[in-house]
């Protein structure tokens, strides 16, 4: 069970609100990167069975993530997402696109955060909010774990919508990740408008061969 130990450190320093920030979709070959920001204040407490099981989204089943998505939206002070599409990812690279998605999520909050807890090795550049980057924060910090769930569920929903538009790739199943099935579809049909052309197997010098995956 995650607690509010990290958040309380900053509440004790007189930061009234703390936001956890995380993203989903850095690795896929198709679709957007989606970031989420979950804002809580110093009155927030983990006092329900649902909140007590919040963890890194990768450790939860799709059904449980869906359930917790609703709980987080209800219980947090504010929740927002930021979406950056594949064309922008190709233009500025996935790291910068992730930062841009995070910035969009933060700037969409109706209440400005006083402190940010960001998953990963790097702080978000060019944003005027005090922050800390926490490696593996999605499995150790409550607000970041909550953000990971919001980002993952939101991106999965978007990929299911893309599946309706481009059904031959079966995006609903693999969400754009480089599974054997997805790579086989790419080899057979080539890229569609939501594929990231700056990613392998598109941006490679040697001919793409499925058996190398």
Nearest to 169 by CA among 61, 177, 24: 177
The domain of 58 spans: 5-212
Nearest to 213 by CA among 172, 180, 182, 190: 180
The predicted model gives 31-43 an average pLDDT of: 98
The predicted model gives 187-203 an average pLDDT of: 95
Cβ pair 38, 79 in contact under 8 A: yes
Rounded distance between C-alpha atoms, residue 129 and residue 123, angstroms: 10
pTM higher than the cut 0.95: no
Question: Following CA atoms 133, 150, 197, 212 in sequence, which dihedral angle do they give, to the nearest 10 degrees?
Answer: 90
- Tell me 195's DSSP state: B
- State residue 1's pLDDT score: 87
- State residue 213's pLDDT score: 35
Q: How many domains is the chain partitioned into structurally?
A: 1
Q: Is the pLDDT of residue 155 over 90?
A: yes
pLDDT tens figures, 39-48: 999 999 999 9
- State residue 203's pLDDT score: 79
The predicted model gives 116-139 an average pLDDT of: 97
Q: Is the pLDDT of residue 212 over 80?
A: no
What CATH code is carried by the domain that includes residue 79? 3.30.420.10
Distances from the Cα of 81 to the Cα of 51, 126, 155, 185, 191, angstroms: 20, 18, 10, 30, 27
Rounded distance between C-alpha atoms, residue 33 and residue 92, angstroms: 12
Q: Where does the pLDDT of residue 204 fall: very low under 50, low under 70, confident under 90, or very high at 90 and above? A: low
Q: Is the pLDDT of residue 143 over 70?
A: yes
The predicted model gives 196-200 an average pLDDT of: 96
The predicted model gives 157-169 an average pLDDT of: 98
- State residue 208's pLDDT score: 43
Q: What is the longest distance spanned by two Cα atoms in the chain?
A: 57
Q: Look-up: residue for tokens 């990231």?
A: 196
Q: Where does the pLDDT of residue 7 fall: very low under 50, low under 70, confident under 90, or very high at 90 and above? A: very high
Query: Is beta strand 78-84 parallel, antiparallel or unpaired with respect to 33-41?
Result: antiparallel
pLDDT tens figures, 43-66: 999 999 999 999 999 999 999 999
């Amino acid at each position: 069970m995650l607690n509010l130990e990290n958040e309380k450190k900053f509440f004790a320093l007189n930061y009234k609100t703390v936001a956890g920030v995380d993203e989903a979709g850095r690795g896929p070959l198709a679709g957007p990167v989606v970031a989420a920001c979950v804002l809580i204040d110093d009155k927030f407490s983990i006092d329900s069975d649902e909140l007590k099981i919040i963890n890194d989204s990768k450790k939860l089943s799709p059904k449980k993530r869906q359930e917790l998505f609703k709980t987080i939206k209800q219980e947090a002070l504010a929740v927002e997402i930021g979406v950056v599409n594949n064309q922008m990812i190709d233009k500025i690279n996935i790291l910068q696109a992730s930062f841009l998605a995070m910035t969009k999520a933060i700037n969409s909050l109706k209440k400005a955060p006083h402190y940010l807890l960001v998953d990963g090795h790097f702080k978000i550049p060019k944003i005027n909010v005090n922050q800390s980057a926490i490696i593996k924060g999605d499995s150790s910090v409550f607000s970041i774990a909550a953000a990971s769930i919001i980002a993952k569920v939101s991106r999965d929903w978007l990929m299911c919508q893309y599946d309706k538009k481009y059904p031959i790739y079966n995006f609903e199943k693999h969400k754009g990740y480089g599974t054997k099935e997805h790579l086989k579809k790419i080899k057979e049909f080539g890229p569609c408008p939501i594929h990231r052309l700056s990613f392998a197997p598109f941006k490679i010098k040697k001919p793409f061969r499925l058996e190398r995956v």
